[in-house]
Structure 1
Amino acid sequence: MSDILIISDNQTRIDYLNTILTFLGENCRFCTYANAIEAFGKGDNWSAVLIDGETPELAEDIIEKFPETPFINVGFQLSGERSFKNLMGSLFEPITYPNLNELLQKSSDYYTANRPLDALVSGKTKLFRSLVGNSAGITEVRELIEQVAPVEANVLILGESGTGKEVIARNVHYMSKRQKGPFVPVNCGAIPGDLLESELFGHEKGAFTGAVSARKGRFEMAEGGTLFLDEIGDMPLQMQVKLLRVLQERIFERVGGTKTLQCDVRIIAATHRNLEGMIADGSFREDLFYRLNVFPIESPGLRERAQDIPLLLQELASRLEGSKQNSVRFTQEAMRSLMAHSWPGNVRELSNLVERLSILHPKQVIDIEHLPHKYQYDEDGQQQPLAAVKQDENAERDAINAMFKYAEANPVSTETHLPVAADTTLPNDGVNLKEYLSDLEISLIRQALDKQDWVVARAADQLGMRRTTLVEKMRKYEIARHKEVDDTTSI
């Protein structure tokens, strides 16, 4: 996983940038110029580096030393006429949301283009890349893979659909001594029972109607490698008997053939079913179960490791960027809401959601309002009615946009520190953020209306919103122009 690095000797600038980037859902770290070289030497991958241009000579020296890292200059114009291909641009104060988001996207594109997958990770980390997370469940899975991969034991992967059982199987294969051999997957539940035998063992010419030529089965295709039998619980009993013979004797015959073929294949099976319950009702053979269940691995459901969702979102977004597709970013609120979802489809459902959002909102920052309704949860983890979610979250988003717009229209000197819309010191007893943002939004709306002589269309343009949206907010906050009372009016 990659983070964003802030390099500055100005703590006020560091705090302000960290606040903005955290709101956008980014993981940030920071250091001074004195520790900058050391930060690059620890093997971390920076998807963007925001570097304080207050000391241009030092900034240019660092930018030049690390050509594969994308840099964004902050606060000051760099001296000299030198051009760096890894300098994405400059952010001048006051920083605006559109400019920051554009430069972060350019940095992400540059990072992906100059850091291919093989260069980003190596060895076991590369193989575990699809099993990201720090939860106890996924950490245990990675440890079990490391333990079983070097030996030849059969592996049984258990878990709900969509939890990444095939990903686990591939990791076992590519970390084993058979990694140079083929990895052949077959879904036992997707193939009709009467065709499964031919699919696994192959057939000879004329073995049945339509067999116009001989054909190798999956066991022959996987020779010297690994055969992954997905959804083994859906295999018919008749086929279970034949599979058991292959596991015991390592020999088989093609359908319609008499020649006995030797088999050098490692078996990894997976299922979402309760095999022990199936043994009890007679739908799965107990002897086959023990042959397969030499080394079981439990693949945890996403709801059991919700804390891994932010890392998974970054991984899925990184995959989209690596495949040259539009990607997205997520705010902290959006990630919090997604962590409250139950995820019946597990990681597959999350992956589909990210791809859908990247199509609907390409290269955008996804907030809670952009999520489909069923993924929108309040701070207590309760799903709210769609209208309530839209109203609350749109108010917060519009307030943030209004702050950026107001700061852009009212610049302050860059020689002191980055501007803030109000006192950003958090009181010891806390603050009601929604009330704070609402008060700020009312203040900015009134200022814009006063400046534009209460011409709503021009005020909406200054605030960066549609006229109808401003009218709705004026109605919501009961904002109206107070008419002067004529003192000469007769009583």
Structure 2
Amino acid sequence: MTGAGRTILVADDDRAIRTVLTQALGRSGYHVRATSSASTLWRWVEDGEGDLVITDVVMPDENGLDLVPRIRRIRPELRVVVMSAQSTFMTAVKAAQRGAFEYLPKPFDLKELLAVVERALAAPQAEAAEKGEEEGEKLPLVGRSPAMQDIYRTVARLTTTDLTVMITGESGTGKELVARALHDYGRRRGGPFVAINMAAIPRELIESELFGHERGAFTGALTRGVGRFEQAAGGTLFLDEIGDMPPEAQTRLLRVLQEGEFTAVGGRQPIKANVRIIAATHRDLRQSIRQGLFREDLFYRLNVVPIRLPPLRERTEDIPLLARHFLDRARASGLPAKQLSQEAVERLKRHGWPGNARELENLMRRLAALCPQETIGADAIEAELAEAAPLAGSGAPEPETLEQAVERHLRAFVAAHREGLPVRDLYDRVLAEVERPLLRLVLSATRGNQIKAAAMLGLNRNTLRKKLRELDLPVVRGIG
């Protein structure tokens, strides 16, 4: 029992959800008062009842999100958890902007909800979240998969801060969309959003592009040049493909992040860096650090809040929603209105999408323009994908790293755990799965010579022998 007699106010027009929450919270020691109407919930709050509110968004008499700021005004100490089946990015952002403690998409995991309740009741009081102006239901990010819901909640929390963010993900996963969402719904939305792609700027010009230059600083500098840091003053500077930044520029950027100011190339007067930094890369920066290509201290300055965008192949349940969204955007831009057959949707879900969401959007625009039928069938999808296949290699992501491969493999164990299946001795199992092929291949490369194999592995020979016994690995020559 963890509730210690505290009272939770629950508002949801779905009787089954009220019953489930009442039972689950009751088993944890909480008192629960449940209602199907916003007006009853408001009356309880006005009367001073409850230690925490859990409310749905859509209710018969009022939108639950509209209640949040009203509750915050009369009882700022009362935490509000918002849950909704309308699990979009805008729902998460609005919940955060209006002062909700947490947003949970339906269907939710009861263990997660109970953990949120515990955190909400234990969390110290903070000032109310800054309220933004009412936003329309435009969707900068699309998807209802668990991975995207996690991203929505992270972005929503970050809109009330100026923390530095590092966005990672393959090309085409929407890194700039996330950066723009952080800006457009954040504290600095009134300022400029300035993006610079490190991979597109010649190495010798990057420092001038970032920090500006004084007249005469170099050949051709006939006038003073304003850099991106100055252009983004009061707003957000998005450093795309940060992994391609040359070492000398990395050193200058680190100094800016440490000291909060910079000087233009050829200048002496310090300029205050009044920007929020968001960086992005498709590279594995930890591997770049090991290779000496990226500064470790700069990485930790930029990686304050990491956001990993999953490739489309890891969230195939979002493909139908994304495809329809892209068809709607194509129609809004003047292309003919189209819809997808169910067979076409299933064919889209079987594709590997090396170009991720960008590849899917291009395909939908192409089909909207060229498909003669109003309903796009599986044959049209098949034909377009087959024609595009030879070009896919040019835009394919970089080869998967060992870390990425292991992470992908481990998701199956995590999914099994979430479904309640027994997962035991995972640490030892994973180590064995990595060590076994490593030792086999190294021994093969050294033709079974354990002294050379130990040197190659950086192990003591006795340690190598012990591991071979533990893993029941014979020394076989000539394999691999």
TM-score under structure 2 length normalisation: 0.52
Contact 2:347 2:382 in 1 (8 A): no
Cα distance, 1:369 vs structure 2? 1.2
Retained in 2: the 8 A contact 1:227–1:268?
yes
Amino acid at match of 2:178: I
Indicate yes or no: 2:329 matched with 1:329.
no
Correspondence for 1:171: 181
Paired with 2:284 and 2:325, the residues of 1 have a C-alpha distance of 31
CA deviation after TM superposition for structure 1 residue 174, in Å: 1.3
8 Å CA contact retained: 2:140, 2:181: no
One-letter amino acid matched to 1:343: W
Name 1:265's counterpart in structure 2.
Answer: 275
- Deviations along 1:22-54, whole A, 9 cap, x unmatched? xxxxxxxxxxxxxxxx999999xxxxxxxxxxx
Match among 157, 160, 183 for residue 150 of structure 1: 160
Partner Cα distance (1:125, 1:339) in 2? 30
2:369 maps to 1:352:
no
**Conserved in 2, the CA contact under 8 Å of 1:230 and 1:271?**
yes
Structure 2 CA distance for partners of 1:362 and 1:317, relative to 1, 3 Å? farther
The CA distance in 2 between the partners of 1:191 and 1:219, in whole Å, is 15
2: distance between equivalents of 1:181 and 1:292? Answer: 21
- Please state whether the residue corresponding to 2:293 is helix, strand or coil: coil
- Which residue does 1:126 correspond to in 2? 137
Unaligned runs of at least 5 residues, structure 2: 1-57, 64-132, 390-480
Partner of 2:202: 192
1:428-487 CA-to-partner distances (Å, cap 9, x unmatched) read: xxxxxxxxxxxxxxxxxxxxxxxxxxxxxxxxxxxxxxxxxxxxxxxxxxxxxxxxxxxx
- Provide the aligned C-alpha RMSD in A: 2.4
Contact 1:178 1:225 survives alignment (8 Å): yes
Equivalent position to 1:295, from 287, 302, 305? 305
The 5 Å alignment of 1:21-36 reads none
Whole-angstrom distance in 1 between the partners of 2:342 and 2:169: 29
Q: Give the Cα separation in 2 of the matches to 1:253 and 1:274.
A: 30
User: Matches of 2:284 and 2:310 in 1, distance apart?
Assistant: 15
Q: Is the 8 A contact 1:329 1:363 kept in 2?
A: no
Q: CA deviation at 1:130?
A: 3.0
Q: CA deviation at 1:328?
A: 2.0
The 3-state SS of whatever aligns with 1:131 is coil
Distance, in Å, in 1 between the alignment partners of 2:160 and 2:369 is: 41
**What's 1:219 paired with?**
229
Secondary structure at 2:288's aligned position in 1? helix
Change over 3 Å in CA distance of 1:174–1:195 after alignment to 2: same
Indicate the residue corresponding to 1:276 in structure 2: 286
1:216–1:234 Cα change, 3 Å: same
Task: Give the corresponding residue for 1:429.
Answer: none
**Structure 1 residue 326 displacement after superposition:** 2.5
Secondary structure of the residue that 2:209 maps to in structure 1? helix
Task: Give CA-to-partner distance per residue, 1:304-355, whole Å, 9 cap, x none.
Answer: 1111111111111111222233232111100100000000000000011111
SS of 2:257's equivalent in the other structure is helix
Q: Which has the higher contact order (CA 8 A, sep 6+)?
A: 1
How many angstroms apart in 2 are the aligned matches of 1:218 and 1:360? 40
How many angstroms does 1:210 deviate by? 1.6
8 Å contact 1:327–1:363 — kept in the other structure? Answer: no
| Per-residue deviation, residues 195-244 of structure 1 (Å, max 9, x unmatched) | 10111011112211221211110000000000000000000111100000
Residue 284 of structure 1, CA deviation? 0.6
Task: Confirm or deny: 8 A CA contact 1:184 1:228 kept in the other structure.
Answer: yes
Do the aligned partners of 1:328 and 1:362 also contact (CA within 8 Å) in 2? Answer: no
Conserved? CA contact 2:335–2:369, under 8 Å: no
Could you tell me which residue of structure 2 aligns to residue 51 of structure 1? none
Letter paired with 1:171: A
Q: Do the aligned partners of 1:159 and 1:301 also contact (CA within 8 Å) in 2?
A: yes
Task: Count the aligned residue pairs.
Answer: 261
Report the TM-score, using the length of structure 1 for normalisation.
0.51
Q: How has the CA–CA distance of structure 1 residues 124 and 297 changed in structure 2, closer, same or farther, with 3 Å as cutoff?
A: farther
Q: Which of 184, 191, 195 is the aligned partner of 1:181?
A: 191
Query: Distance between the aligned counterparts of 1:341 and 1:245, measured in 2?
Result: 45
The residue aligned with 1:161 is 171
Largest Rg, 1 or 2: 1
Distance 1:362 1:207 in 2: 58
Please, which of 245, 261, 266 is the counterpart of residue 235 of structure 1? 245
> CA separation of 1:39/1:140 partners in 2, compared to 1, >3 Å: closer, same or farther?
closer
Q: Give the structure 1 partner of residue 403 of structure 2.
A: none
**1: CA distance between counterparts of 2:164 and 2:228?**
17
Question: In percent, how many aligned pairs have the same letter?
Answer: 49
Aligned ranges for residues 409-420 of structure 1 at < 5 Å?
Answer: none
- Name the CA distance, whole Å, in 1 between partners of 2:319 and 2:262: 44
Alpha-carbon distance in 1 for matches of 2:134, 2:342: 32
For 1:126, the aligned partner's letter is: E
Measured in 2, the distance between the counterparts of 1:171 and 1:359 equals 29
The residue that corresponds to 1:468 in the other structure is: none
Assess if the C-alpha contact under 8 Å between 1:331 and 1:367 holds in 2.
Answer: yes
User: Using the alignment, how far apart are the partners of 2:215 and 2:206 within structure 1?
Assistant: 17
Give yes or no for the alignment of 1:313 onto 2:323. Answer: yes
SS at match of 1:186: strand
2:348 aligns with: 338
Residues 338, 375 of structure 1: 8 Å contact kept: no
Distance 1:230 1:123 in 2: 29
Q: Distance in 1 between matches of 2:135 and 2:286?
A: 33
